[in-house]
Structure 1
Amino acid sequence: MSLPQLSAPFLTDAGLETDFLFNKGYDLPCFSAITLVDAGHREEALLDYYRAFLDLAEAHGLGFILESPTWRASPDWAGPLGLSMESLAERNHRAIRILDELRTEKDRAISMILSGCIGPRGDGYRPDATMSAEDAKAYHQWQIDIFADEEVDLVTGMTINTVAEATGIVHAARAAGLPAVISFTVETDGNLPDGTALGQAIAATDEATGAHPAYYMINCAHPDHFAATLDEGADWMERIGGLRCNASRCSHAELDEAEELDAGDAADLARQHAALVEAHPRLHVLGGCCGTDLAHVRAIAEAVHG
C-alpha cells in the first residue's frame, strides 16, 4: 500500500511503557507492554490509552499511527515473562487484532495506519545482543510473520541500536511482504550506542537493503541529543520521516538508573519540535517516547499543527 504518512502529517502515541508504569501505576514485567494484552481490565486500559490519542489526532485533523504494544514481545522475552512461545504468539496476534478493531470502532474522519512494533533483541540502550544481519533476520522473522498474518500496514523497528539488526529486520519485513520503518536510538552525542553516526547508519542500512525502508525515525532521545547533527543538505536527511523523543535530557545510562519519572518540560519539548519540523519539513510523524504521555504529544501537536 502507499503510506500516507510519507506526504501528510501524522501523530502517534507516547511513552506507553513509562506512562503505564509511572503515571498509571501498572506493573510491567521486563518493561513489556505485551503484558497488558490480557483480555481483561489491563487490556481495556490499554485501549483507552490509544483512544485518547486518536481523539487528539482527530481534533487536529491529523492521521494517526497505531503502534502495537509489542516492542518487547519477541522470542527471547518469552522466558523472562513467564510465557510459553504459544502464549507469546497469541498475545502478539491479539495485540494487532485489538488495534485493528479500534480503527472501525468509531467513524473517524482521519487516516489510521497500523504498525507492528519490533524492538531490539536485547537492551535498546546497549548493543549487547550483537548479531549478524542474517541472524537478526532469522530472529525477528518469527514476530514479523505473525504481524503479516494480521492486518498490519507496516513493521516498525523501534529503538534499534545497530545497523546489522536494522538490516535483519528490514530483510524479514521484505520476506513477509511488508513495508518497513527503522527508528534508531542515539546517545547524547547524536550517535548510535555503538558509536556509529546516525547518517552513516541510515546510509549503511539503505545500502544493505536496497533502500527498502519506507523511511527512518529517531526515538528514545531528547532533541538536544541529536538536533545539531541533522544536516538538511545531507542525502540521508531526506530519509528521516519522524521523531519519537524522550521528555528527559538524561542519558540512557541515567534513565536506566532512575527510580522516578523525568517528565521534562512539555512546552519546551513542543517548541523544539516546531523548530525541527520547520527546519526539516519531511518530519511528518510525531509522537513521544520515554517520559512522555498524552500531554506531551498534545503540546507537540498544538505547537506544530495548532
Structure 2
Amino acid sequence: MAKPYQSRLPAIAVAGCLGSRGDAYSLNQDITAEESESYHAQQMRALKDCGVDIVRAATINNVPEAVGIARAAAAEGVPVNISFTLDCTHKLKSGPTLKQAIEMTDAETAEAKPDSYGINCSHPDEFEPALEPGYWVHRTRSLRPNAAKMDKVSLCKPGHIEEGDPDELGRLMGDLARRYPNVDIWGGCCRT
C-alpha cells in the first residue's frame, strides 16, 4: 500500500494496531501487568515479524494493561504508542487521570517505557481538560478523537451513526495542534 507514495513522502512508517483484552469500555480491572504482558506478547511477536515500525495500542483504559503492553513491546524491541481513552470525567474509566496513568506506566516500566502515549476514542471535550501542564504531557504524541460527544457505549450500538460537528472538531483540534506541537500523530476514531 505504501509503494505508490514512497517517491512523494520523506518516510512512511507502518503501525501495527492492537487493542485491549476484552471490552475497551468495561473496567477490565482484573488484568494484571504480568497477564497483560503474556497476553500481548504473541501479538507483539507477530507484528514484529510483519516488519512494523511501531505498534499502536489503542483504547487502553487501565494502567496494568498499559504496563504489560509496554513490557511485551520492549521484549520484542518494538516501539509502542499506548493510547488511552478517557470518559466524561476526563479520566480513564478505571479511575486515574491521564497524567497519573502516564506517570504510573512510565514508573512501572523503567527501561521498557513506551515510546510515546496518545488519546483515542474520546471527544476533545473529554480529554482537553486532562492535558495538565508538566513533563508527562510531552510524552503524548497522538490524538485520535471521536467526532461525536456521545458516550462510547451509545456510539458503538449497531445501526446508529453519529457524526458530531466536523467544523467544531476541526477548530478544537487545530487549537490543540498549536498548543501541543509535540503531537505529531493525528487521526480519528468513531465517525471522525
Fold equivalence (TM over 0.5): yes
Task: Tell me, in whole angstroms, the C-alpha distance in 1 between the residues paired with 2:49 and 2:140.
Answer: 28
Structure-2 residue corresponding to 1:198: 98
1:208 counterpart (108, 117, 122): 108
Which one has the bigger helix percentage? 1
Could you tell me which of 144, 153, 164 is aligned with 1:244?
Answer: 144
The residue type equivalent to 2:3 in the other structure is T
User: Which one has the largest radius of gyration?
Assistant: 1
8 Å CA contact 1:123–1:129 kept in 2: the answer is no
- Counterpart contact for 2:17–2:58, Cα < 8 Å: yes
Q: Take 2:75 and 2:58, find their aligned partners in 1: how far apart are those partners? A: 19
Name the Cα RMSD after superposition.
1.5
What is residue 124 of structure 2 aligned with on the other side?
223
Q: Any stretches of 5+ residues in structure 2 without a counterpart? A: none
For residue 258 of structure 1, report the CA deviation from its aligned partner.
6.3
In structure 2, what residue type is equivalent to 1:248?
A: A
* Percent identity for Structure 1 against Structure 2: 37
What is the CA–CA distance in structure 1 between the aligned matches of 2:93 and 2:6, rounded to whole Å? 42
In the alignment, is the contact (CA less than 8 A) between 2:6 and 2:12 conserved in 1?
no
Gaps of 5+ in 1: 1-101, 293-306
| Conserved? CA contact 2:29–2:94, under 8 Å | no
Per the TM alignment, residue 129 of structure 1 is displaced from its structure 2 partner at its CA by 6.1
What is the DSSP-based 3-state SS (H/G/I as helix, E as strand, rest coil) of the residue aligned with 1:112? coil
Change beyond 3 A, Cα 1:107–1:201: closer
Alpha-carbon separation, structure 1, partners of 2:160 and 2:16: 29
Q: Distance in 2 between matches of 1:124 and 1:284?
A: 24
Say whether residues 1:128 and 2:14 are aligned partners: no
Q: How many residues align?
A: 190
Task: Between the two structures, name the one with larger relative contact order (CA 8 Å, sep ≥ 6).
Answer: 1
| 2:50 alignment counterpart | 150
Residue of structure 1 equivalent to 2:2:
103
Q: Is the 8 A contact 1:122 1:129 kept in 2?
A: no
Q: Distance in 2 between matches of 1:162 and 1:191?
A: 10
- Runs of 4+ deviating beyond 6 Å: none
Report 1:1-306 matches (<5 A): 102-110=1-9, 111-128=11-28, 130-210=30-110, 212-231=113-132, 233-257=133-157, 259-292=159-192
More displaced 10-residue stretch of structure 1: 115-124 or 255-264: 255-264
Query: Which whole-Å CA distance do the structure 2 matches of 1:128 and 1:229 have between them?
Result: 21
Taking a change above 3 Å as real, the CA distance of residues 281 and 106 of structure 1, as seen in their structure-2 partners, is closer
What letter corresponds to residue 129 of structure 2 in structure 1? A
